[in-house]
């Protein structure tokens, strides 16, 4: 049968319509899955495979509670920030980093128990902290006997000295020896000839008092009165009344919050007009919050983090300090913290040792001891077999408080 011309013309169109209808019901092919980015693991997609294998355990002991909490809290946050950053970037040689944190509540006995737990139960290859000098001194024997590296975040020079008896112990906080050396430059420049001391009765305060009594006389500066206060004391009026009667050219207070803030407020209420000088133990916002307007004009030695913006661009620490400040703000929603910086440096030293090939606690200890030119938050560290603190007085700058803000003493 022959098809009419009109039918022969319509048939191809009908076929095309049927084909189009069939195809419209078929699923569309999916777009190709983008490959996981190569290179920096920290920038990988959330589904990227993280570090695997047996975790490397680093122990930490901080004063998260108790009088040392204003220091211990930012230390804890800084250590956690480093842990996350390392694991997000693939871990250490492919193995995850596990940070186990213990709170010593600013008590020496609890620090000892925490150290034993971290060593015996958690199998930590190293310990950072404690926050305070007393707890740090309390666990020295435990770490030395167990041959576990300890990188303390506290400032007493006794933590690392004598080095022959502290083989496994290092510190990242600027020591009281260096702080007093830096203060002597200021006292001489201001022609201050006599001072009165008021120091915390705890390990940090008394270690500082020891250095003051050792170094001040050599600079021709007379100590006309010496007082103490308890870490938890709420009034130092009696001690400051005695100091006022002694008529010193300046008053030096050595301690960590909250005690120094009480000293500042009591001194103001008693009408003491001589300069009030303090230690690096007040180098955080908590002192300004607690002392309020009594903080005005207080001078103290501090790490450079507080005044990062005032540093010259040529300062080797400036870029490092700014990066830490930015990272901490993003992680903890708070400004970078000097004491947090001590924990940051301690973590970085141990991690560098592990990444450099250290296989165990002994390897970590040896690597830290050989570390030189490490530009950190506390300063530029140069450790050696005879120096386990690694800093000089240049790690400090002098800071004063004006209108509730820190500024460098010019």
Give tens-digit pLDDT for 365-387.
999 999 999 999 999 999 999 99
What CA dihedral angle connects 172, 279, 329 and 381, to 10 degrees?
Answer: -20
Lowest mean pLDDT among 39-48, 64-73, 207-216: 39-48
40: confidence class by pLDDT, cuts 50, 70, 90: very low
Over residues 55-77, mean pLDDT? 97
Domain regions of the chain by residue span: 56-174+315-392, 177-302
Residue 410: what pLDDT?
A: 83
- List Cα–Cα distances, 4 to 11, 15, 17, 27, 214, in angstroms: 11, 17, 20, 38, 121
pLDDT tens digits for range 287-323? 999 999 999 999 999 999 999 999 999 999 999 999 9
14: confidence class by pLDDT, cuts 50, 70, 90: very low
- Asked whether residue 35 carries a pLDDT value surpassing 60, the answer given is no
Asked if residue 179 lies in contact with residue 173, where contact means CB atoms within 8 angstroms, the answer is: no
Residue 385: what pLDDT?
A: 98
Residue 49: what pLDDT?
A: 56
pLDDT tens digits for range 141-169? 999 999 999 999 999 999 999 999 999 99
Over residues 53-65, mean pLDDT? 96
Lowest mean pLDDT among 29-38, 48-57, 108-117, 177-186: 29-38
Residue 339: what pLDDT?
A: 96
Question: Which stretches of 220-339 are assigned E, i.e. beta strand?
Answer: 222-229, 250-254, 276-278, 299-302
Alpha helices in 89-156 (DSSP H): 108-120, 133-138, 140-146
Architecture of domain 177-302: 3-Layer(aba) Sandwich (3.40)
51: confidence class by pLDDT, cuts 50, 70, 90: confident
62: confidence class by pLDDT, cuts 50, 70, 90: very high
Q: Report how far residue 242's alpha carbon sits from residue 55's, in angstroms, rounded to the nearest whole number.
A: 57
Asked if residue 238 lies in contact with residue 244, where contact means CB atoms within 8 angstroms, the answer is: no
- Asked whether residue 6 carries a pLDDT value surpassing 90, the answer given is no
**DSSP annotation of 384:** B
The overall average pLDDT reported for the chain is 90
Over residues 47-64, mean pLDDT? 85
Q: Report how far residue 242's alpha carbon sits from residue 231's, in angstroms, rounded to the nearest whole number.
A: 19
Fold match, 56-174+315-392 / 177-302: yes
Work out whether strand 374-375 and strand 380-381 pair parallel, antiparallel, or are unpaired: antiparallel
Higher pLDDT, 47 or 325: 325
Other Cβ atoms within 10 Å of 381 Cβ, number: 22
- Asked whether residue 138 carries a pLDDT value surpassing 60, the answer given is yes
**Which residue in 385, 379, 399 sits closest to 175, CA to CA?**
379
**Which residue in 220, 281, 233, 284 sits closest to 253, CA to CA?**
281
Percent of the chain with pLDDT over 90: 86
- Asked whether residue 28 carries a pLDDT value surpassing 70, the answer given is no
The tokens describing 211, both together, are 């250095």
CATH superfamily of domain region 56-174+315-392:
Response regulator (3.40.50.2300)
Residue 4: what pLDDT?
A: 43
Residue 53: what pLDDT?
A: 84
**Which residue in 153, 74, 61 sits closest to 329, CA to CA?**
74
Work out whether strand 150-152 and strand 169-171 pair parallel, antiparallel, or are unpaired: parallel
Whether the model pTM is above 0.75: yes
Q: Report how far residue 113's alpha carbon sits from residue 223's, in angstroms, rounded to the nearest whole number.
A: 39
- Asked whether residue 48 carries a pLDDT value surpassing 80, the answer given is no
Percent of the chain with pLDDT over 70: 88
Over residues 216-238, mean pLDDT? 96
The tokens describing 342, both together, are 């001590």
Q: Report how far residue 345's alpha carbon sits from residue 370's, in angstroms, rounded to the nearest whole number.
A: 15
User: Radius of gyration of the chain from Cα atoms?
Assistant: 30
């Amino acid at each position: 049968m022959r098809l009419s011309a009109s039918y022969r013309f319509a048939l191809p169109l009908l076929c095309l319509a049927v084909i189009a209808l069939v195809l419209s019901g078929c699923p569309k092919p999916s777009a190709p899955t983008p490959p996981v980015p190569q290179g920096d693991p920290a920038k990988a997609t959330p589904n990227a495979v993280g570090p695997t294998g047996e975790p490397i355990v680093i122990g930490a002991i901080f004063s998260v509670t108790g009088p040392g909490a204003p220091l211990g809290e930012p230390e804890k946050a800084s250590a956690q920030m480093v842990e996350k950053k390392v694991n997000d970037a693939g871990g250490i040689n492919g193995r995850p980093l596990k940070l186990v944190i213990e709170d010593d509540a600013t008590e020496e006995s609890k620090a000892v128990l925490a150290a034993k737990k971290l060593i015996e139960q958690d199998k930590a290859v190293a310990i950072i902290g404690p926050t305070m000098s007393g707890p740090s001194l309390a666990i020295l024997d435990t770490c030395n006997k167990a041959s576990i590296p300890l990188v303390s975040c506290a400032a007493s020079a006794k933590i690392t000295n004598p080095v022959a008896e502290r083989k496994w112990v290092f510190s990242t906080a600027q020591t009281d020896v260096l702080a007093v050396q830096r203060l002597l430059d200021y006292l001489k420049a201001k022609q201050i000839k006599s001072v009165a001391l008021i120091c915390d009765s705890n390990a940090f305060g008394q270690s500082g008092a020891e250095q003051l009594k050792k170094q001040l006389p050599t600079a021709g500066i007379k100590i006309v009165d010496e007082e103490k206060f308890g870490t938890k004391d709420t009034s130092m009026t009696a001690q400051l009344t005695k100091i006022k009667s002694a008529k010193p050219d300046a008053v030096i207070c050595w301690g960590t919050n909250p005690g120094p803030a009480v000293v500042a407020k009591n001194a103001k209420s008693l009408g003491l007009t001589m300069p009030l000088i303090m230690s690096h133990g007040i180098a955080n916002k908590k002192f300004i919050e607690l002392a309020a307007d009594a903080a005005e004009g207080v001078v103290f030695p501090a790490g450079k983090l507080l005044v990062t913006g005032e540093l010259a661009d040529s300062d080797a620490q400036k870029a490092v300090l700014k990066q830490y400040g930015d990272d901490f703000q993003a992680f903890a929603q708070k400004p970078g913290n000097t004491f947090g910086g001590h924990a940051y440096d301690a973590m970085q030293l141990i991690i560098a040792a592990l990444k450099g090939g250290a296989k165990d606690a002994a390897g970590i200890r040896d690597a830290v001891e050989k570390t030189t030119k490490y530009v950190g938050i506390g300063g530029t560290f140069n450790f050696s077999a005879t120096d386990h603190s690694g800093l000089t007085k240049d790690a400090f700058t002098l800071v004063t408080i004006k209108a509730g803000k820190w500024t460098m003493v010019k």
